[in-house]
Copies of this chain bind each other. A is one copy, B any other.
Amino acid sequence: MGIHQYFVELAEKLTPDLYESIVLPRSVIEVVADEEAFQGWRTRQTGSIAALQTQSFGKDDSFILDFGDHQVGYISLSIKSVGSPQDAPLGLKLIFGEMPCEVAEPFDSYEGWLSKSWLQEETIFVDVLPTVLRLPRRYCFRYLKVVIIDTSRKYTVSFTDIHCTAVTSADVRDLKPLPANVQEDLQVMDAISIKTLQDCMQTVFEDGPKRDRRLWIGDLRLQALANYQTFHHHDLVKRCLYLFGGMTLADGAVGACVFEKPNPVVDDTRLYDYSLFFVATLFDYYEASEDHEALVDLWPIALEQIHIGLARLDEYGVVRDDETWWCFTDWHPELNKQASAHAILLYCLKRGLGLAEVLERKLEATFISDQIDRVTRAAHHHLWDDELSFFVSGANKQVSWASQVWMALAGVLNEEKNGQLMDRLFDSSPEIGMTTPYMYHHLIEALFESGRPEKALEQMRAYWGEMVKDGADCFWEIYNPNDKKLSPYGSNLINSYCHAWSCTPTYFIRKYLL
């Protein structure tokens, strides 16, 4: 990888301290099978924490705590023995769940293709009681199931205190409440968005604090947008930009994600759109922060992404589509990415031009401007289908939601025609739909930017609003209102239920609806 040591060091200096808060469990619950409930499970309160503290537990006993809301943090359990002196180790299993399914369905049943090590459980043996068990790993949960593997015939155990030390780098004191006249459901959606963002804000913007727990540039871009409307933690965005800029792949491309520990390192995953989003994220950052120094530092990296993106254009000025590349756009096995990738290139070229102009880099601005014309023309000539009145993608001229949304965001057409394109999209509803909140974000953004705010709001309510009705404490990585057990990973146990790319309703509400 290419390392710009100075950038990495600066990023490390910007590592934020975390705010800590103590969160106590609210109640003891059970999880009940219920076909009407989301994923088939609902919770029911069965007891109080005060009562729990007076109980004692032996072999095979268990209980489930509800912490009342989604938490990211560290768990501490104060445990004492009851009865004769502790004559054998205490065996405990702890199972953490963001959602009821995780404390209801056995992890042994997991057969998905993502690492099962993501499933949050611990098996612990305690040789000496009483103890205060402070687990060193960070967990992400609302529910904690405690199973007593064994005590002995001569003693049981009692839990005198269980609490979570929740962590985030978001300063909730910075948060401005929405005006009181904002509709109730939007107030709720805004609050859940912000909690999602807050729980993903750690020493970087994580994609999901339960699973992956790392910095992806696709998620970062949306988190940064939500952050500018809420926590204004510019230095955290800056740290992330310097991490991406400081560690590029061998040819200079920005990697799709970076790891922080044990030392910062860029992953070997490369996505066409994600490398380009470095330009857009830097543009948004400069708009929010006016941090000229960072712009000067990082402009060469951004410009390099533009060159790398352009290198994929064929002789007609169209992004080449073949089997040798990866572009994310959305989790959809049949989606052809050519048109969306082409539009993302154009979207980022326009933001690159903006940055070149701020920097008064005239030659570079002229170059980018020429490329914008070239790419726009190519879109009109080679990706637009007059007969269908839609943008098409790939050799089979696929019409998808994603292609239209990104072409609208890229501004290939003017605002009026974009609006009409969006209307046609909803009217004809192509079969190749959208699967992630990440793609829905871009749909909503496209609707707002194409003069369709009512439709945008309707769609927000139809998507994030449904998650709220389904009991979301934070917004989820994966959601399909028509297939609520959907997981691209083969099991809903491993889905992330607090996921960065779902956090943007607050951005829309605060940017477009106030």
Contact = CB atoms under 8 A, between A and B. Distances in A.
A87 interface: yes
A115 B85 contact: no
A173 interface: no
- Size bin of chain A's contact surface: 35 or more
A116 B267 contact: no
A253 interface: no
Contact of A127 (B88, B137, B152): B137
Given A113-B153, A114-B152, A267-B84, A128 B91 contact: no
A261 B128 contact: yes
A128 B88 contact: no
A197 interface: no
Interface string A81-123: 0001111111100000000000000000000011111100011
A335 interface: no
A87 B208 CA distance: 13
B137 A115 contact: no
B122 A125 contact: yes
A125 B137 contact: yes
Given A84-B268, A125-B137, A262-B128, A151 B115 contact: yes
Contact of A265 (B85, B115, B116, B212): B85
A228 interface: no
B118 A89 contact: yes
Contacts of A115: 59, 87-89, 91, 150-153
A149 interface: yes
Interface in A210-257: 212, 214
23 contacts: A85-B259, A85-B265, A85-B267, A85-B268, A87-B212, A87-B259, A88-B114, A88-B115, A88-B118, A89-B115, A90-B117, A91-B115, A113-B153, A114-B152, A116-B149, A116-B150, A117-B125, A117-B149, A117-B150, A117-B151, A125-B137, A128-B261, A128-B262
A78 B152 CA distance: 34
Interface in A122-145: 122-123, 125, 127-130, 137
Contacts of A267: 84-85, 87
